[in-house]
Structure 1
Amino acid sequence: MTAARHADVLVVGGGQAGLAAGFYLRRAGLDFAILDAATAPGGAWQEYWDTLRLFSPATFSSLPGRPMPHQRGEEYPDAPHVAAYLTDYEKRYELGVRRSVRVGAVESEGEGLVARTDDGDWTSRALIMATGSWNRPFIPAVPGLAEFTGRQLHTHGYRGAAKFVGQRVVVVGGGNSGAQIAADLVPHATVRWVTQRPPRYLPDEIDGRALFDLATRRVQGDGGGPGSLGDIVAVAPVRVARDAGLLIAHPMFRHLTAEGPAWEDGSTWDCDAVIWCTGFRPDLAALAPLGLRQPGGRVPMEGTRAVEDERIHLLGYGDWTGPASATLIGVGRTARTAVQEIKLRLV
């Protein structure tokens, strides 16, 4: 049997949150290793559709220590540009991410932890979960899901409009992903955009810079946060489609039939595909052996630290683990705080 490898701090996940953690761990002089299940660098950004846009200019979308370069001809960078930036960041800071390593379970072993992976065990004194939520897409339990005979996919599986040219497509979801995917499709397909409530666009001048400030103020108890202004950032493609009258939101349907959705008033709409832009859930299954989750599914937190186990920190899961921590600009601050706490405990 292969002997377990060891790092004082183990980081699970090599996307933007894991890289930010690695930056501060190296700066702190701590012994660490980063494990990532993906085969290539770039985090989830390497899997997004190419026309996806950041909500902020490159200058305001950077990880600690390394400004994101501007993308020529674009104020708001696209997904391939971000993936290339993360790839360069990982190389520049020599973070040594170990790839194609999937962590199946994290267990307590005396005063330390052991991570069971498909490439052998790792022991550590502290662990940072930075797996994000991309690999846990959520689709609501709408009646008739199994009856619909057309194609169904989630945001997670959307790669662009090419496969939907000339088709009738329902896009479900009133957030940024739903608006951006609907806007991406309308020049190529007949789209019916379905939302739980009328879409709420933020003022056109609002982007990720303001949202980060609002999120921070909300956590500090000063203000209502980004949701008080709206749900959708009007990036250029969304604004163009909206102003052209092509983004018309319809109320949520009651159920699916074999041919398509049916509404409370008896109306139906036959379609070829349904795209569920209905969000994600934190990818924390590996922590199950530690028994940290409450019945509702969340791990009680103090900042980034698990209340029930000070060895465990969660990084990059949204405001739950730090203001705007699921964003490029926001994750750096929470990564720095997490590493500071870990260092105080270990040294």
Structure 2
Amino acid sequence: MTRSTGVVVIGGGQSGLAAGYHLRRSGIEHVILDAQTAPGGAWQHTWESLRLFSPAAYSSLPGRFMPAQDGQVYPDAAHAVSYLADYEKRYELPVQRGVRVSAVRRDGGHLRVETDSGDWRARAVISATGTWTRPFLPAVPGRRDFRGRQLHTVQYVSPAEFVGRRVIVVGGGNSGAQIAADLAHAGTDLTWVTQRPPRYLPDDIDGRALFDAATARRKALDAGSTDTGGVAHLGDIVAVPPVRAARDAGLLHAKPMFTRLTPTGAEWADGTTVEVDAVMWCTGFRPALAHLAALRLRGARGHIATVGTRAVDEPRLHLLGYGDWTGPASATLIGVGRPARDAAREIAGLLGS
């Protein structure tokens, strides 16, 4: 069975809900297809101690402030899940759950969205699948020879399973710092390695400043001005309270990146070695875009060219929430609202024509 609608939004996390909010305000018929069986997007799968980078009021989707969490300046992931569930219900967004999209194809004047529960024909598609389902593991020499446990950020839950274990945490971004702090506070035998010395943002800077920096950079680039450097100019790690406490207590000491893994641990260029039981790869993600492969939009380096959120070679397709290339800070709660609004406006113009 093939159903028809104006717009299909693929993904029911924060980006998909922001898109739904603006499409609903514009009176555009749409459906949101989400592979998850419960609301909350990737937030429902994070580690227990994760904290947002900003206070609740500055971690909000369009139209609805996130309420503060009792006793917490920076809300935890469970609070974000509750907020997204309430947001979806409050605005009566048409989310269909447990629907996995396999492909998007051109179908005359429409786009055909193929799923495991039937197809949809739409005049426009917003892809908002995020990155959480595509963890990145670097091609480090010896990675296949290591006999201990290897896991990525997506598999980490709490330090309880690493009590009495020796662990290397790889990564100098926010995930690496937060998980390293989590393990350090629990007394784990920790080795933290980073590509360059950790760059902490000043303690008074959080997600609000990061959003402003990303927006200023995008405006400068659009105007042909000098690149401001954006968020990267400020630093790599937001010093949320657990990270700040571990740093100030002298529990976080980063070593340079090792040159290879051995069957029992890691080795550095100077011959130094360490034996460990587990390697935690906090090495980031890649956009989850396999469902768009049939459209053949990727360039030589696998990148889909966009103007704002609109795909250059397929104007009926918008990409939302994958990073600055689809809108300043669009992978964040506070940042996705503006590109979602812009995508809805462009789609309204397309449908009107």
TM range (shorter): over 0.9
Q: Which amino acid aligns with 1:266?
A: G
2:271 matched to 1:272? no
Q: Which residue of structure 2 aligns with residue 232 of structure 1? A: 237
Q: Which amino acid aligns with 2:169?
A: V
1:7: Cα distance to partner?
Answer: 1.3
Q: Which residue of structure 1 aligns with residue 210 of structure 2? A: 211
2:347 matched to 1:342? yes
CA distance in 1: counterparts of 2:2 and 2:94, whole angstroms: 18
Tell me the TM-score normalised to structure 2 length: 0.97
Greater alpha carbon shift after TM alignment, 220-229 vs 187-196 = 220-229
Q: Which residue of structure 1 aligns with residue 196 of structure 2? A: 197
Q: Which amino acid aligns with 1:150?
A: G
* SS at structure 2 position matched to 1:335: helix
1:187: Cα distance to partner?
Answer: 2.3
Q: Which residue of structure 2 aligns with residue 11 of structure 1? A: 9
Q: Which amino acid aligns with 1:17?
A: S
CA distance in 2: counterparts of 1:160 and 1:344, whole angstroms: 47
Q: Which residue of structure 2 aligns with residue 282 of structure 1? A: 287
CA distance in 1: counterparts of 2:165 and 2:247, whole angstroms: 20
Aligned ranges 1:1-347 → 2 under 5 Å: 3-188=1-186, 189-221=188-220, 223-347=228-352
CA distance in 1: counterparts of 2:136 and 2:229, whole angstroms: 26
CA distance in 2: counterparts of 1:83 and 1:301, whole angstroms: 30
Query: For the Cα contact (< 8 Å) 2:201–2:236, is it kept in 1?
Result: yes
Q: Give structure 1 stretches of 5+ with no counterpart.
A: none
CA distance in 1: counterparts of 2:307 and 2:97, whole angstroms: 30
CA distance in 2: counterparts of 1:298 and 1:170, whole angstroms: 32
CA RMSD of aligned residues (A): 0.8
* SS at structure 1 position matched to 2:315: strand
CA distance in 2: counterparts of 1:187 and 1:228, whole angstroms: 29
* SS at structure 2 position matched to 1:125: strand
Tell me the TM-score normalised to structure 1 length: 0.98
User: Which deviations, in whole Å up to 9, do the C-alpha atoms of 1:299-325 show, x marking residues without a partner?
Assistant: 001000000010000000110100000
- Give 4+ residue runs of structure 1 displaced > 4 Å after superposition: none
User: Which deviations, in whole Å up to 9, do the C-alpha atoms of 1:196-250 show, x marking residues without a partner?
Assistant: 0101011111000011001000111163211111110000000000011110000
CA distance in 2: counterparts of 1:22 and 1:173, whole angstroms: 34
Q: Which amino acid aligns with 1:21?
A: A
Q: Which amino acid aligns with 2:204?
A: E
CA distance in 2: counterparts of 1:296 and 1:155, whole angstroms: 25
1:6: Cα distance to partner?
Answer: 1.3
CA distance in 1: counterparts of 2:115 and 2:294, whole angstroms: 14
User: Which deviations, in whole Å up to 9, do the C-alpha atoms of 1:278-337 show, x marking residues without a partner?
Assistant: 000000011000000112111001000000010000000110100000000010111000
* SS at structure 1 position matched to 2:347: helix
Q: Which amino acid aligns with 2:238?
A: V
CA distance in 1: counterparts of 2:276 and 2:185, whole angstroms: 17
1:50: Cα distance to partner?
Answer: 1.7
CA distance in 2: counterparts of 1:310 and 1:344, whole angstroms: 11
CA distance in 1: counterparts of 2:259 and 2:201, whole angstroms: 28
CA distance in 2: counterparts of 1:29 and 1:100, whole angstroms: 25
1:60: Cα distance to partner?
Answer: 0.5
Q: Give structure 2 stretches of 5+ with no counterpart.
A: none
User: Which deviations, in whole Å up to 9, do the C-alpha atoms of 1:110-130 show, x marking residues without a partner?
Assistant: 010101111111110000000
1:146: Cα distance to partner?
Answer: 1.1
Q: Which amino acid aligns with 2:253?
A: I
CA distance in 2: counterparts of 1:225 and 1:26, whole angstroms: 32
User: Which deviations, in whole Å up to 9, do the C-alpha atoms of 1:2-33 show, x marking residues without a partner?
Assistant: x2011110000000000000001111111100
CA distance in 1: counterparts of 2:143 and 2:89, whole angstroms: 44
Count of aligned positions: 345
